[in-house]
Amino acid sequence: MTDVPSSVPVPPPPDPVRDPWRAPMRLALAEAVRARETGDVPVGAVVLGPDGAVIGLGHNTREASGDPTAHAEILAIRAAAGTLHGEWRLHGCTLVVTLEPCTMCAGAAVLSRLDRVVYGAIDAKAGAAGSLWDVVRDRRLNHRPEVISGVLAAEGGDLLTDFFRRSP
């Protein structure tokens, strides 16, 4: 058996938990780029319906809109409810977001009854889906979405690092 030279990159092993979420996370990353283009922190989000179809998109627009609640997750959840003709219960739906949700967005995920929250980069300063707080899995609440973290985390983290490096 021949040894593989150390200069040849070895692909990571398949990850059955995170791999299925890579394609929708790429859509969320594209939304994050849209946020950056308007001077907003580059965070993007996608809501998938029970069948996997995109029913909501959002990216941060706090700076562009002057709305402190205009986080990517909130806008994507609102869009999903609109797609479902005002149905606020997003049973069977998945929120995919480039950065771990904050307390407001984690609360919105719980209150909208999302089945699942998938995120990329950890937010050690304000994350509320497992790092600083764990709002989405708090046993005192009436709904607890499944949480999958670390999907394309480096890509989302790089967007944020680059943004803050360039900001005055």
Predicted confidence (pLDDT) per residue in 42-60, tens digit: 999 999 999 999 999 999 9
- Within 8 A by CB and 6+ apart from 94, the residues are 24, 47, 48, 114, 115, 116, 117, 118
Confidence of residue 9 (pLDDT cuts 50, 70, 90): confident
Tell me: pLDDT of 6 over 80.
no
Q: Report pLDDT for 50.
A: 97
93 is in an annotated binding site: no
Q: Report pLDDT for 96.
A: 98
102 is in an annotated binding site: yes
Looking at the chain, the whole-number percentage of residues with pLDDT higher than 70 is: 96
Catalytic residue chosen out of the listed positions 63, 73, 100, 155: 73
Predicted confidence (pLDDT) per residue in 56-101, tens digit: 999 999 999 999 999 999 999 999 999 999 899 999 999 999 999 9
Distance of CA 92 to the CA centre of its chain: 17
pTM of the complete model: 0.92
Q: Report pLDDT for 4.
A: 56
Q: Report pLDDT for 27.
A: 98
Strands (DSSP E) found in the chain: 44-48, 54-59, 94-99, 116-121, 146-148
Tokens standing for residue 62: 């706090």
Per the annotation, the verdict on 146 as an active-site residue is: no
